[in-house]
Amino acid sequence: MKAQLLEKFKEIYGDNGGICAYFAPGRVNLIGEHTDYNGGHVFPCALTLGTYGIARKREDKRLRFFSLNFENLGVIESDLNDLTPYKEAGWTNYPKGVMWAFEERGYKLSCGLDVLIYGNIPNGSGLSSSASLEVLIGLMLKDMFGFDVSMIDIALIGQYSENNYNGCNCGIMDQFASAMGKKDHAIFLDANTLKYEYAPVVLEDAKIVIVNSKVKHSLVDSAYNDRRNECETALKELQEVIDIQTLGDLTEELFEANKDAIKSEIRQKRAKHAVYENQRTLKAVQALKDNDVELFGKLMNASHVSLRDDYEVSCDEIDILVNLAWETEGVIGSRITGGGFGGCTVSIVKNDAVDSFVATLGAQYREKVGHEAEFYIVDIGQGAHVL
Ligand code: GLA
C-alpha cells in the first residue's frame, strides 16, 4: 500500500525527497454508546482499516490536498494564512481543522504541506473515517514539525477541531481509539478522566463481525447534537436534587430514585440510556475478563434495545440487521455501533456460524431493504503510526 501511495504522490506533486507516510485506523465500538460525552465509559477497538497519508513540507505557506477517494475533485488548495472553514473546501475542512487547532494551541506551522490521502473505511459507515483523518493529520504534524504532543493530545486536538471547526459536538471516543488503539485489544476508557486500560480480546471460538447497512440518514450531526443537549439539560435537572458531576456518576438505583427531577419524558429516556449504558459497559468489561462471552453478548443486545427505544438513534435498516442477527444460530450478541441513524452493526458470531451469518443476513437484508449489506470480519489493529 505504502509503495503505491508514494508513487501516486510523486506523480501528483513531483519527486524531490522529504516524503513521510502515516496511517491512522478507524474504530468499532463494542459497547458503551453515547456515554463518552456523558462522563461514562466506552469500549472501542481500532480496526486495520483506516486512513493513509503521505506528505511533504513546502517552502511557502500553501496547502495542497489530494484524496484518492475523491480523485474527481483534483488537488484542493488552501493557505496556512487563511484557515477558515468553508463548504466548498469539502473533505479538506478536516485536515485544515486540525491545523487550525494546533495553531490555536500555540503550535505554529512554519510552512505549508503537500498531502495525499487514501482511506479504506467505507464512506459514511460510522466507523470513524473522519476521526481517523483528524488523528492522521495530528500525527503528521507532530512528526514533521517536531511538536511535543502525546498521542492523547492528538486525540483531544482532533476532537477539538471537530467540535469547533467542523461543527459536530462529538465526544472523545473515536479519536482516542484511533490514536491509542492496540493490536488485539479493546480500550476500556473512562471518557471523563481519560484513564484507560487495554483489555485483550481473545475470542477463541467466535469472531467480531461488522455489518454495514450502507445507509446514512441525513440527520446524523444535528440529531447527535440534540441528544447531547438533552442529556446536558437532564444533568442540570438532576443536579438540583443530587450532587453529581456527570450522568456517568449515577448507578441505576440512584437514577431511578432521582429521575423525577427530569421534567420531560424524552430527557428522562435519554438520561436513562446514558446511565444504564455506562453500567452495562462496566459489566461487559468484567464479563470479558471473566471469559463470559455469553454475558457480554447479552449486554450488547440490551445496549441495542436501549439505543433503539430510549436514545432513539437506530433506524429501520439497522433494526432489521440486528433482528436478523438475533434470530440467527450462533450469534452471541448484536447491536448498532457508533453514532447511529444508519452505519453499522457489530456482532459476536461463533466461528462455525460466520458463513451462514453472512449468507442469511446478506440474502434477507437484500430482500427486505432492496440493497446489499457489506460484511467485515474484524481484525483489531494498532493505533496511528508512522509508516
Ligand atoms: C460518534 C461520536 C463519539 C460517540 C459515538 C456514540 O461516533 O464521535 O464521540 O459519542 O458517536 O457512542
Cell of 182: 492496540
Q: How far is residue 361 CA from its own chain's centroid?
A: 24
Give the pLDDT band (50/70/90) at residue 218: low
Residue 171 beta carbon below 6 angstroms from any ligand 1 atom: yes
Could you please state the CATH topology (level 3) that the domain comprising 206-378 is classified under. Answer: Alpha-Beta Plaits (3.30.70)
Sign of dihedral through CA atoms 237, 313, 123, 202? positive
Q: Which CATH number fits domain 2-202: 3.40.50.970, 3.30.980.10, 3.40.50.2300, 3.30.230.10?
A: 3.30.230.10
Closest-CA residue to 333 (of 288, 361, 299): 299
* pLDDT for the residue numbered 202: 83
Residue 277 beta carbon below 6 angstroms from any ligand 1 atom: no
Cell of 241: 436534587
Closest-CA residue to 266 (of 313, 201, 332, 210): 313
pLDDT tens for 255-313 read: 999 999 999 999 999 999 999 999 999 999 999 999 999 999 999 999 999 999 999 99
Residues 6+ apart with CB under 8 A from 187: 42, 43, 44, 45, 176, 177, 180, 181, 196, 197, 198, 199
pLDDT tens for 128-140 read: 999 999 999 999 9
Residues 6+ apart with CB under 8 A from 369: 213, 215, 317, 320
State which H helix or E strand residue 190 sits in: strand 185-190
- Is residue 40 within 8 A of residue 191, CB to CB? The reply is yes
pLDDT tens for 27-81 read: 999 999 999 999 999 999 999 999 999 999 999 999 999 999 999 999 999 999 9
* pLDDT for the residue numbered 13: 95
Which of the given ranges, 138-147, 166-175, 217-226, has the highest pLDDT on average? Answer: 138-147
Instruction: Using the atom order of ligand 1, give the atom closest to the CA of residue 224.
Output: 11
What is the whole-number distance in angstroms between the Cα of residue 189 and the centre of ligand 1?
13
The average confidence (pLDDT) of the chain is 95
Burial of 330 by CB count in 10 Å (0-12 exposed, 13-18 middle, 19+ buried)?
middle
Give the pLDDT band (50/70/90) at residue 220: low
pLDDT tens for 162-172 read: 999 988 899 99
Percentage of the chain with pLDDT > 90?
90
Give the pLDDT band (50/70/90) at residue 216: confident
Domain ranges of the chain: 2-202, 206-378
- Over residues 10-26, the mean pLDDT reads 93
Per CATH, 2-202 and 206-378 having the same topology is answered: no
Residue 37 beta carbon below 6 angstroms from any ligand 1 atom: yes
Alpha helices in 198-343 (DSSP H): 220-239, 252-258, 265-289, 293-309, 316-327
Instruction: Using the atom order of ligand 1, give the atom closest to the CA of residue 37.
Output: 10
Q: How far is residue 131 CA from its own chain's centroid?
A: 6
